[in-house]
Structure 1
């Protein structure tokens, strides 16, 4: 529910705003501003915000809401409206904007329908029907909205069903009454069509007759004064028997109704009268239906007006680049990148300098100083409009949190009045009196140029007294001034802080930047010097200031210089830190990209290596099979040597990481690194340099491979080199397999491919060393590894038999393998 606000000078208590215990409510002492009003009637120029909102509405109901917009009555209403505005913004951002309805004005028709004996015209009924048809889109939108709050809000709208059905039955989409609106109307309109066809047919036949054709300007049948006539040449008028109803502008043609057509035209008029009477009865019944639904229709008008206002607010938010603010729990606010909304609309988002501003709690009074045209008044209006717009449920040109205040007082602009015999200073005093009455911590106060318009000494004293009253009451206040005494007061008073709006003297232009904890200078003499005023005049002005004042100004100037230098150094340090962070991010991204590329390349090499291994295993099995069949060990040795050379050429080499030790002593026990094709790093537990083999511990699992495939990442402390083990077994081959360290192989914890590679290497060594039986631990788990081991053993021609161990030795988690004799 919205309410009207009182005039600026009225205290809030006179308006009897309902307030809950512990909740000061929300209100404003700014009054209802007319569109286009200027200070002092509208110190914040809220009327221009209303006008901007009105321009973004779609119909008269939303426009009226915008024109009369005022802050909502309490905090709950404001919070609800802001949440609803946020829901509209969310749906719009998701590509589900609310329908922009074009609605006609129907309220005069609703009012007339309630007058006894009144009957609505067809165009009024058409407007009502069009209104209800357009409003149907809202009901459809309610079913499609995904935001729960918006869906609930839209779900509260319903068209009066009885009236909708009635108007749908009698009205056509063009706004006319249907023939089928009643049986009487259908019959009457059918009679009109028949009568019209008879008279037109008769006249068309007469026009084509030889007796009349030469007397007519043309043969077309036209309508004049509600009767069908023929265009007769003026000079032939006496030769045609009939009634003249009109003449052309040139006087060359007269429009005559032949006597033999009079009765037919009369019949048509009678039929049309019957149709009008039937239509009138339809309008009577429709008017009664409208009267019965008047209250519901007025509710629909109000709802659609609010909906249009919400949509206009969303369009305003987009143009401002703003957000829906939060509502604080107490009298404090924190706004970020906030700007004056009217300046944003005029100059664009990029043409306005935003600022961050927070007040409340320990620091609740701000004294703003700086040169003229520096933006002090704009800053006060920015804060005031942010709160006014938020209290109206509108977005703000920025982001953050607005305070919860019971009222807001703005003493901005020149309020002098000849009629009231008030000077500028007197008018300010009148306004200040209203500010100070009933002052407490729930009031937001904005005072522009406090203490101006009178003697600076007395004005300063009064300004300090007002500031002290505001401070003691705990009110949140923003006060702009040029008076040094007020700046000095802010320095020594707890709860009061200074802020300066900076000015570039070289460019003679304000920067609109707020500098906290600084007192601004007016820069009057510096600006005058830059503008070229005579040097002797400026020197005289400086002497008039007095030595003490000049010393203060000099110290302030030195302070500003030091602060500017410190700010530059801070900005340079910040920029350097940001550059360093950016470089670190780029380096990290490069490292991650290179690591990913290395992993990808190694994965491809590993896949190729696995394919090579699988092919080699198949060839070894084939060699063993031929060896058993033919006993030709020389051919077998030759084939094995050929495979050995192939493996040494094709062995994958992983790209070295930065930590890899590329130079140094031979690989020794204790060294750490990787053994291709295994990607996991581990520790060397045995090494045979003569045979070019290495054995590693990979997280508790031991594997053996070619020393050429080992890459060291960390060298161990030097150890005495152990003698290489003697070859086991006989044969003519010059490269016999190395003895396995154990007849037991533990594959638990390894991936399937890695486990199968380890198993094949273990079986090669065990079979070549002449072992008769070995044990493979694979665990039970999901059974995948056990199944893979059993399949590999089934395919290996060297294996005579295999099976699970006894339960006390591991059962199904252990497989015992027995080789064929003669290996």
Structure 2
């Protein structure tokens, strides 16, 4: 167990207070107050894993339902000795059971998800006693405000019904009194009130005798008396008797419920303990979220590596992060430097982070940090001068150090602040070196701060010790609080004095007193600092570039993966769609071929031309889309190659039609677009086929016309207006071609197109008669026209 002295010195209790603020129940806060660091490695690992599960839940779900939990241990204890619990205590028990049920369901819902693993929470959920029956029994008798319900028993309902009836009688009688003809004169106010649990009315002093009865109270002035009129005394007595019966019945109900609580009191204690544990785990996780903490990796080898760690009790904005590593080859760090430079803060950062990790609390450091589990942690920090014992600062520290030396071993972490201070510098330095040797020889991990220059050379003479210092900015005359591992501290006295205005001659004279060796050491330290700063700058730049490169690499990988997935999905969908289209086309083509074969085999059936046309059209329609598109593109390319002056074309880049004026090069044409003439590339031009009607108008030769006019007009699929225009033109062409009979194919459909065509034919002066087609001519889908 970690000594209480170290916990107090490092202000561990303040960490507990901060974590406790994130608890949602008094149970959790009580357990946090008793939270101490564990020294068993397996237990520490388990605590941190539980906390990490809590962090995972908070990250994914945002929050955990922990409301409605009360510390019901005192109530459960009283029920065990046969005490009667109050209605509010029973309500708290029911609320706590309900909260445990909601929490259990919440954990079960997470358990079903594959992306979150919470074995410790699931284990605690399995350990929760299920007391839903008791919750329902209490809720059936007591409401959320702690009042006993009428439905708690048949007797209580009957008593309360009688009570309400009697109260209504009293109010009715009193209301008749306060509404009487003289009531406004004799009463101070026309109201009914209650005194000593009896219904009364406020009567003026001088009219007391008029109402008789009992005076229960009077106003501060004495002018108003609160009188229970004689006429309602018996009714009030009956109300009082019923209230006594009501209270007796309520106590009976509460005793019955208390006995049921007694039966499961042991389970309630287990439930409260588990709910408190979960509240503590989540409080640690919430603390970690709020303070940007992480779960450190733990070891039992005494190795410490804190990456950009901050003091937990200093705000994030003010704390200066430092990276600290020792425990394998290096078992001790000696920090030198001026006061107020951050040496003590560094010691406390290491000590507090160690205590927090061993208590299962995340530490204020970056991912990749690692801490050791120590059996003992000793801290000799600060001025602990004891006035009561009349001990000096040096004596007080030495008493503590003697105690530490008697207990320290290889499983200990020791923190010394200003080791050997408070006495003669030479003797203090010698003692400090000797004490450090003793502790290091025991195998303990040590961090020590000191003012003594003699200890600057200590790290160079011992392979397991490293020097360190806190950085000081000579320009601003202030510490930066950055820890410099491997570089001993400089006094900076000459530089500071120079910047503050001390004469150069005095400073040079002082330098002469320090000796050559001291000057060389200071120069060496200055050179080391300069080299360190340069290497840190370069390392930071390299790290930044590496992070950017890693980020870009990761981003590109994700984009490539997404692209490949989309490409694969699109190809898959395209292949599936193409296969489906081809299958449908094959099926339709086979169906059409089968119909044609059937027509051919049917000797009695003469295949009409329009039926062949319809079949051919259906075959064209079932051709795969890809083939149609390719065919159309090939036609466009062929037409583009055969363009000639006078052709009408569409300019693809502008979406406008124009006429070819002349060829301007191998692949260029001059195009007239409205009033504009433009030189355009042949690839930007699309041949536009002239309108059929326009072509027909240009054909004036009757023989040519005759050779092109068919004996039937197919209007299926045409809009009504277009169909009428085509019918009109077709009749004219047929007459010019000297046809006496033609067929108009309009299909059966809804009959609208057929009716419209026939209405037009009725009014045409060159139409002799018309009729529907025979069975072999297309039936109602064809109109046969006789021309004059």
User: Which of 464, 479, 492 is 1:510 aligned to?
Assistant: 479
Distance 1:619 1:112 in 2: 97
Alpha-carbon distance between aligned partners in 2 of 1:296 and 1:164, rounded to the nearest angstrom: 13
- Secondary structure in 2 aligned to 1:342? coil
Deviations 1:140-192 (A, max 9, x none): 22222343332332332235455334322321121111222222222222221
Distance 2:257 2:496 in 1: 75
1:239-388 → structure 2 map (5 Å cutoff) = 239-343=210-314, 347-348=315-316, 350-388=317-355
User: Higher mean Cα deviation, 119-128 or 378-387?
Assistant: 119-128
The CA deviation at 1:83 is 0.7
The answer (yes or no) to whether the contact 1:245–1:255 under 8 Å persists in 2 is yes
Counterpart for residue 47 of structure 1: 13
Classify 1:568/1:219 alpha carbon distance in 2 versus 1 (closer, same or farther; 3 Å).
closer
Structure 2: gaps spanning 5 or more residues? 112-117, 572-624, 651-681, 684-788
User: For 2:191, what is the secondary structure of its paired residue?
Assistant: coil
- Taking a change above 3 Å as real, the CA distance of residues 84 and 212 of structure 1, as seen in their structure-2 partners, is same
- 2:391 match: secondary structure: coil
Q: Distance in 1 between matches of 2:275 and 2:628?
A: 73
Distance change (3 Å), C-alpha of 1:536 and 1:45: farther
1:553 aligns with 2:522: yes
1:491 aligns with 2:508: no
Alignment equivalent of 2:2, drawn from 28, 37, 52: 28
Counterpart position of 2:88: 123
Q: Distance in 1 between matches of 2:250 and 2:531?
A: 88
CA-to-aligned-CA distance 1:223-243 (integer Å, 9 cap, x gap): 111111122223322222222
Give secondary structure in 1 for the equivalent of 2:480: strand
Structure 1, unmatched stretches of 5+, are 1-26, 34-41, 621-637, 651-707, 710-823
> Match of 1:182?
153
The offset of 1:85, in angstroms, is 0.6
2:158 is aligned with 1:193: no
Q: 2: distance between equivalents of 1:193 and 1:285?
A: 25
- Taking a change above 3 Å as real, the CA distance of residues 524 and 244 of structure 1, as seen in their structure-2 partners, is same
Q: How many Å apart are 1:474 and its aligned residue?
A: 2.5
State whether structure 2 residue 433 is matched by structure 1 residue 464: yes
Does the Cα contact within 8 Å between 1:439 and 1:473 map onto a contact in 2?
yes
Counterpart of 2:393? 424
Write the distance in 1 (CA, Å) between the matches of 2:31 and 2:298: 23
Deviation at 1:301, TM superposition (A): 2.5
Give me the whole-angstrom Cα distance separating, in 2, the residues matched to 1:55 and 1:247.
51
Q: Determine the C-alpha separation between the residues in 2 that align with 1:100 and 1:462.
A: 55
Counterpart CA distance in 2 for 1:422 and 1:76 is 42
Instruction: Write the distance in 1 (CA, Å) between the matches of 2:216 and 2:146.
Output: 32
Deviation at 1:335, TM superposition (A): 1.7
CA contact (8 A) 2:97 2:132 kept: no
Partner in structure 2 of residue 450 of structure 1: 419
Which residue of the partner structure matches residue 777 of structure 2? none
Q: Which residue, out of 406, 410, 414, partners 1:441? A: 410
Match of 2:141 in 1: 170
Return closer, same or farther for 1:619/1:429 CA change in 2, 3 Å cut-off: closer
Please give the alpha-carbon distance, in whole angstroms, between the structure 2 residues aligned to 1:372 and 1:443: 27
Q: Deviation per CA, 1:526-557, whole angstroms, max 9, x where unpaired?
A: 33443456777766755554454344334433
CA distance in 2: counterparts of 1:164 and 1:586, whole angstroms: 53
Shift in Å at residue 86 of structure 1? 0.4
Match of 1:816 in 2: none
Tell me the distance in 1 between the aligned counterparts of 2:163 and 2:360. 57
Q: Matches of 1:257 and 1:573 in 2, distance apart?
A: 94
Q: Counterparts of 1:215 and 1:498 in 2: how far apart (Å)?
A: 98
The alpha carbon displacement at 1:495 in A equals 1.6
Residues 83-134 of structure 1, C-alpha deviations (whole Å, 9 max, x = no match): 1110110010002421242544434333333345x32233333333333333
The question of 1:79 aligning with 2:50 is answered: no
Which residue in 1 is equivalent to 2:716?
Answer: none
> 1-side partners of 2:275 and 2:13: how far apart?
22
- Decide whether the 8 Å contact of 1:371 with 1:524 is kept in 2: no
* 2: CA distance, partners of 1:280 / 1:571: 74
Q: Offset at 1:351?
A: 2.8
Judging changes above 3 Å, is the alpha-carbon distance between structure 1 residues 539 and 142 closer, same or farther for their aligned structure 2 residues?
same
Give, in whole Å, the separation in 1 of the partners of 2:150 and 2:550. 76
Whole-angstrom CA distance in 1 between matches of 2:543 and 2:294: 28
Which of 33, 39, 44 pairs up with 1:67? 33
CA distance in 2, matches of 1:228, 1:324: 67
Q: Return the offset for 1:510.
A: 1.5
Q: Deviations over 1:192-228 (max 9, x none)?
A: 1122112112212232233545422333221111111
Separation in 2, partners of 1:618, 1:78? 79
What SS does the corresponding residue of 2:186 show, helix, strand or coil? coil
Q: What per-residue deviation string (whole Å, max 9, x for no partner) do you get for residues 238-282 of structure 1?
A: 222222211223433222111111111111111111111111111
Alignment CA distance shift 1:99-1:642 (3 Å): same
Structure-2 separation of matches of 1:536 and 1:641: 98
Return the offset for 1:82.
0.8
Say whether residues 1:642 and 2:650 are aligned partners. Answer: no
- Distance, in Å, in 2 between the alignment partners of 1:163 and 1:537 is 88
Aligned residues: 583
C-alpha distance in 2 between matches for 1:353 and 1:198? 78
Question: What's the secondary structure of 1:202's corresponding residue?
Answer: helix
Deviates more, 1:153-162 or 1:452-461: 153-162
TM-score normalised by length of structure 2: 0.67
Shift of 1:450: 1.8
**1:255 alignment partner, SS class:** strand
The corresponding residue for 1:110 is: 76
* C-alpha distance 84-509 of structure 1, shift in aligned 2 (>3 A): same
Paired with 2:633 and 2:290, the residues of 1 have a C-alpha distance of 72
1:530 corresponding residue in structure 2:
499
2:67 counterpart SS class: coil
1:333–1:237 CA distance, 2 compared to 1 (3 A): same
Shift of 1:580: 11
User: Match of 1:500?
Assistant: 469
Asked whether the 8 Å contact 2:55–2:289 carries over to 1, the reply is no
Structure 1 residues 535, 245: CA separation in 2 closer, same or farther (over 3 Å shift)?
farther
Distance 1:31 1:114 in 2: 39
Q: Deviation of residue 488 (structure 1)?
A: 1.0
The answer to whether the 8 A contact 2:88-2:145 is kept is no
Deviation at residue 363 of structure 1 after TM alignment: 1.6
**Could you tell me which residue of structure 1 aligns to residue 59 of structure 2?**
93
- Corresponding residue SS for 2:61: coil
1:389 to 356, 362, 366: 356
Instruction: Please say if residues 504 and 510 of structure 1, whose CA atoms lie closer than 8 Å, have aligned partners that are also in contact.
Output: yes
* 8 Å Cα contact 1:129-1:171 kept in structure 2: no
Q: Which of 190, 193, 197 lines up with 1:226 in the alignment? A: 197
Distance 2:276 2:440 in 1: 43
Would the aligned equivalents of 1:129 and 1:175 in 2 still touch at CA under 8 Å?
A: no
| Superposed CA offset, 1:637-690 (max 9, x none) | x98972899xxx99xxxxxxxxxxxxxxxxxxxxxxxxxxxxxxxxxxxxxxxx
8 Å CA contact 1:126, 1:176 repeated in 2 = no
Alpha carbons of 1:299 and 1:528: their partners in 2 closer, same or farther (altered >3 Å)? Answer: farther
Shift in CA distance, 583/428, structure 1 to aligned 2, threshold 3 Å: closer
User: Are 1:244 and 1:254, in contact at CA under 8 Å, matched by a contact in 2?
Assistant: yes
The aligned residue for residue 133 of structure 1 is 98
